[in-house]
Structure 1
Amino acid sequence: MTSQVKQDEQHSDFRKYLPDLNTPRFQAIAQNDAYGHAEELLEHHRPPWLYGLYVHWRKLFQEPFKGVTNDGTIRPNLFKLRDEGIPITTLVASANSIITQLSPAQSTRTLLHIDSPEWRSWSNPEFLVSDKGIRLDELTPSLRDTVLSLVENTLSPEGYAKARSAMRINHFLGELVNAAKVMNEYSYNFVLFGAPSEDTPWGYSFYGHHLCLSVFLYKTQIVVSPWFTGAEPNLIDEGPYKGTRILHEEERLGLELMQSLSDEQRIQATVYEKMKDEKMPKGRWNHDDQRHLCGAYRDNRVVPYEGIVVGSLSQLQQELVRAILSQYLLYLPARSRELKLQDCAEVFGETYFSWIGGSGDADPFYYRIQSPVVIIEFDHHSGVFLTNSKPAKFHIHTLLRTPNAGDYGVALKGLLGGSVVQDYVWGE
Structure 2
Amino acid sequence: MVVAQTQDAVLDLLASLSPEQLEKVKAPFGTPDHQAWTYLPGDRPGLPLAELTPAQQQLAQRIVELGCSQRGAADAWAVLDAEVILRGIPALPESGDWEGSVLGGRYFLRVLGDPAGPEPWAWRLNGHHLALHVTVVAGAVAFTPQFIGSNPAQVLSGPETGRRFLAAEQDLGFELLHALEPGQLEVALVSPEAPDDILTRHDPVADPSLLHRGLAYGDMTEAQRQILSLLIGQYVGRAAGPIGLQTWNDITEQGIERLTFAWAGETQPGVGNRHYYSIAGPTFLAEYDNTQDNANHIHSVWRDIRNDWGTDLLANHYAAHR
Q: Which residue is 2:70 aligned to?
A: 157
> One-letter code of the match for 2:58?
D
Check 1:339–1:126 CA distance in 2 against 1; reply closer, same or farther (3 A cut). same
Q: What fraction of aligned residue pairs are identical, expressed as a percent?
A: 23
Q: Which residue is 1:103 aligned to?
A: 18
Q: Report the secondary structure of 1:118's partner residue.
A: coil
CA distance in 2, matches of 1:366, 1:340: 23
Segments of 4+ moved more than 4 angstroms: 236-239, 241-244
Q: Which residue is 2:143 aligned to?
A: 224
> One-letter code of the match for 2:279?
I
Alignment of 1:344 with 2:239, yes or no, is no
Q: Report the secondary structure of 1:122's partner residue.
A: coil
Equivalenced residues, count: 308
Q: Which residue is 1:201 aligned to?
A: 120
CA distance in 2, matches of 1:355, 1:242: 28
Q: Which residue is 1:74 aligned to?
A: none
Q: Deviations over 1:279-322 (max 9, x none)?
A: xxxxxx5xxxx231222135253435511111111111111111
The alpha carbon displacement at 1:226 in A equals: 0.4
Q: Which residue is 2:292 aligned to?
A: 382
Q: Deviations over 1:92-121 (max 9, x none)?
A: 121112212333333233211222232322
Q: Which residue is 1:296 aligned to?
A: 202
Alignment counterpart, residue 299 of structure 2, candidates 397, 403, 428 = 397
Structure 1 alignment gaps of length 5 or more: 1-85, 276-284, 420-428
Q: Deviations over 1:110-159 (max 9, x none)?
A: 2112222323222111222xx31100023322222221221112211121
Q: Which residue is 1:353 aligned to?
A: 261
Check 1:134–1:242 CA distance in 2 against 1; reply closer, same or farther (3 A cut). farther
C-alpha contact (below 8 Å) 1:171/1:185 kept by paired residues: no
Check 1:148–1:104 CA distance in 2 against 1; reply closer, same or farther (3 A cut). same
Q: Report the secondary structure of 2:103's partner residue.
A: coil
Relative contact order (alpha carbons < 8 A, sep ≥ 6): 1 or 2 greater?
Answer: 1
Q: Report the secondary structure of 1:349's partner residue.
A: helix
C-alpha contact (below 8 Å) 1:375/1:403 kept by paired residues: yes
CA distance in 1, matches of 2:24, 2:188: 46
TM-score, normalising length: structure 1: 0.66
C-alpha contact (below 8 Å) 2:48/2:104 kept by paired residues: no
1:272-311 residue pairs with structure 2 within 5 A? Answer: 272-275=191-194, 285=195, 290-299=196-205, 301=207, 302-303=209-210, 306-311=213-218
Alignment of 1:312 with 2:219, yes or no, is yes
CA RMSD of aligned residues (A): 2.6
> One-letter code of the match for 2:298?
I
Alignment counterpart, residue 276 of structure 2, candidates 357, 366, 376 = 366
The structure carrying a bigger strand percent of its residues is 2
Structure 2 alignment gaps of length 5 or more: 92-99
Asked which structure has the greater CA Rg, the reply is 1
CA distance in 2, matches of 1:99, 1:177: 29
Q: Deviations over 1:164-193 (max 9, x none)?
A: 111111122121799xx9972562101101
CA distance in 1, matches of 2:68, 2:46: 20
Q: Which residue is 1:48 aligned to?
A: none
Q: Which residue is 2:233 aligned to?
A: 326
C-alpha contact (below 8 Å) 1:201/1:217 kept by paired residues: yes
CA distance in 1, matches of 2:102, 2:247: 33
The alpha carbon displacement at 1:228 in A equals: 1.0
Check 1:318–1:338 CA distance in 2 against 1; reply closer, same or farther (3 A cut). same
Q: Report the secondary structure of 1:295's partner residue.
A: coil
Q: Report the secondary structure of 1:225's partner residue.
A: coil
CA distance in 2, matches of 1:170, 1:186: 12
The alpha carbon displacement at 1:398 in A equals: 0.5
Q: Which residue is 2:96 aligned to?
A: none
CA distance in 1, matches of 2:140, 2:224: 30
Alignment counterpart, residue 310 of structure 2, candidates 393, 405, 409 = 409
C-alpha contact (below 8 Å) 1:119/1:205 kept by paired residues: no
Q: Which residue is 2:2 aligned to?
A: 87
CA distance in 2, matches of 1:105, 1:220: 30
